[in-house]
Amino acid sequence: MAEPKKLYIKTYGCQMNVYDSERMVEAMGGQGYETVETPDDADMILLNTCHIREKAAEKVYSELGRFKHLKAENPELKIGVAGCVAQAEGEEIIRRQPLVDIVVGPQSYHRLPEMEAKARGGERALDTDFPEEDKFEKLKARPRAQRGPTAFLTVQEGCDKFCAFCVVPYTRGAEVSRPVDRVLQEARDLVDRGVREITLLGQNVNAYHGEGAGGAWSLARLIWALNDVDGLERIRFTTSHPNDMTDDLIAAHGECEKLMPYLHLPVQSGSDKILKRMNRSHDRDSYLRLIERIRAARPDILISGDFIVGFPEETEQDFRDTMDLIEQVKYGQAFSFKYSTRPGTPAAERAQVDADEASDRLQRLQALITKQQREIQDSMVGKTVNVLFEKEGRLPGQMVGKSDYLHAVHVTGDGILRGDVRPVTIVQSGPNSLAGRLTQG
Ligand code: SAH
Ligand code: SF4
Ligand code: F3S
């Protein structure tokens, strides 16, 4: 048998890119590639990129520059750029970086093997189409290797919401849902290979409306079907949009046994003026009322969010409205960003907030979030939570896993295996994780 070729893949950005990278690795596996941990003696380097903020996009060019000597040493090395920068700046990458052989957008991954062959033939290959065929179906020939206890599964992709700051509707395209039977089949296949927890992915995952028996299924209906998959222990989903939090999904949080008490529900700002200018189509009040309804269904749910500070025309008062909203909601987790101008999006044309002012606001916001996160994490001490164990810890006999609320938990104890879900009594709360012991009896 021929020596396997070596593929080095580096993934930036969101969980969907992580999922896509796995799919690309599998597609290239069919071409005789195996992944390696460093780019040093790779036959192919693939950067799966993110375009969400300026810094994320710039990283790609600096990373590519660093591969120059590798290509000098090995002219057979092929370098590819995938992901959202590829989609947004495909032609420019080709122009700006002669090292690059392949540029492939997120909707064309299934064509990667052909593109690699073309590159081997000495041509440069660019594909940023939004083709008609179903890339997921084309990517189905997967090696049935065992895998870790947690997995992502893309069920919906793209976005039609066009928030004024965001590139996603341009890089991922219009919203599409995968059919129910294919999702369920993929889920069963993952469970057969050792997966115990599945996180359903979509840029607007709760807008899911895949074709199923009797017509389009909601995300809640899909989750209920997954709840019946034997061997699957936990279901999560991300990212949701406040406007698509339907009654059946809220109810599922109270009733569906395997659906975890954690919800990532970005609000971006707490100021009605800014939310309007962001084209978010929900306001402060509707978001707060929604959180109330979700907590009525599942009182212990951990709420996570995303925030942008320094959006064009954001005043100190607008920012305070955001801080006030955070005070009311109490977040267990949050991601916060300084607004980053994205060429081609509506907000890019508007009056920008002073950079120092924005940095100052970000610091204040992050201090508040850190405090809330810590309080919620500390409140776990003394409680018993279920933990799904994922890997060994650094200390002898120690295992690390995640609680239902997605807190990292360290436990030292005999006979804990990867993939086990066990009740754990939390004894200590550290800076980034909890410590516990197996609950007796
Ligand atoms: N589909 C998801 C996430 C989109 S991107 C949603 O609707 O929430 C993830 C996060 O990046 C966003 O929630 C937002 O907080 C942030 N983000 C997107 N565009 C940005 C920009 N131009 N500048 C700063 N942050 C941005
Ligand atoms: Fe971007 Fe808004 Fe769509 Fe989320 S909902 S992906 S922030 S445009
Ligand atoms: Fe980034 Fe594209 Fe995800 S821009 S956040 S990799 S959808």
Task: Please tell me if the CB atom of residue 162 comes closer than 6 angstroms to any atom of ligand 2.
Answer: yes
Q: What is the pLDDT of residue 58?
A: 86
Q: Provide residues with CB under 6 Å of ligand 1.
A: 52-53, 165-166, 168, 203-204, 239, 241, 266, 268, 306, 308, 337, 339-340, 342
The rounded Cα 174 to chain-centroid distance in angstroms is 18
For residue 46, report the distance from its CA to the centre of ligand 3, in Å. 16
End-to-end CA gap in the chain: 53
Q: Which residues lie below 8 Å from residue 283, measured CB to CB, with a gap of 6+? A: 272, 275, 276
Closest Cα to atom 2 of ligand 2: 163
Closest Cα to atom 24 of ligand 1: 339
For residue 161, report the distance from its CA to the centre of ligand 2, in Å. 6
Kindly report, residue by residue over 408-434, the tens digit of the pLDDT: 999 998 889 999 999 999 999 999 999
Bond from prior residue into 239 cis (ω within 30 degrees of 0): yes
Point out the ligand nearest to the CA of residue 13.
3
Cα–Cα distance, 152 to 156 (Å, whole number): 12
Kindly report, residue by residue over 242-282, the tens digit of the pLDDT: 999 999 999 999 999 999 999 999 999 999 999 999 999 99
Query: Which residue shows structure tokens 């879900």?
Result: 421
Task: Please tell me if the CB atom of residue 159 comes closer than 6 angstroms to any atom of ligand 2.
Answer: yes
For residue 258, report the distance from its CA to the centre of ligand 1, in Å. 28
Residue 95: which pLDDT band, with cuts at 50, 70 and 90? Answer: very high
pLDDT value at 2 more than 80: no
Of ligand 2's atoms, which has the minimum distance to the CA of residue 268?
Answer: 7
Residue 375: which pLDDT band, with cuts at 50, 70 and 90? Answer: very high
pLDDT value at 291 more than 80: yes
Provide the residue type at 205 as one letter.
Answer: V
Classify domain 144-260 at the CATH topology level.
Transcription Regulator spoIIAA (3.30.750)
Average per-residue pLDDT in the chain? 95
DSSP 89-143: HHHHHHHH-TT--EEE-GGGGGGHHHHHHHHHTT--EEE----SS-HHHHT----
Report the residue among 16, 308, 311, 366 best suited for mutation to probe ligand 1: largest number of ligand atoms under 8 A from its CB: 308
Classify domain 263-379 at the CATH topology level.
Transcription Regulator spoIIAA (3.30.750)
The rounded Cα 419 to chain-centroid distance in angstroms is 21
Query: Which residue ranges make up each domain of the chain?
Result: 5-127, 144-260, 263-379, 384-438
Percent of the chain with pLDDT over 70: 98
**What's the CATH number for 384-438?**
2.40.50.140
Residue 298: which pLDDT band, with cuts at 50, 70 and 90? Answer: very high
Provide the residue type at 173 as one letter.
Answer: G
Q: Provide residues with CB under 6 Å of ligand 3.
A: 13-14, 16-17, 50-52, 83-84, 167-168, 171-172
Provide the residue type at 386 as one letter.
Answer: N
Q: What is the pLDDT of residue 141?
A: 53
Residue 32: which pLDDT band, with cuts at 50, 70 and 90? Answer: very high
Of ligand 1's atoms, which has the minimum distance to the CA of residue 340?
Answer: 23
Task: Please tell me if the CB atom of residue 168 comes closer than 6 angstroms to any atom of ligand 2.
Answer: yes
Query: What predicted TM-score, i.e. pTM, was given to this entire model?
Result: 0.96
User: Residue 440 corresponds to which tokens in the numbers above?
Assistant: 């007796």
Point out the ligand nearest to the CA of residue 159.
2
Task: With beta carbons less than 8 A apart as the criterion, state whether 399 and 426 touch.
Answer: no
Q: Which residues lie below 8 Å from residue 121, measured CB to CB, with a gap of 6+? A: none
Q: For the domain with range 5-127, which CATH number is right: 3.40.50.12160, 3.40.50.1220, 3.30.420.40, 3.40.50.300?
A: 3.40.50.12160
Arithmetic mean of pLDDT, 307-327: 98
SS3 294: helix
Do 144-260 and 263-379 come out as alike in CATH topology?
Answer: yes
Kindly report, residue by residue over 100-154, the tens digit of the pLDDT: 999 999 999 999 999 999 999 999 999 998 887 778 777 665 556 788 999 999 9
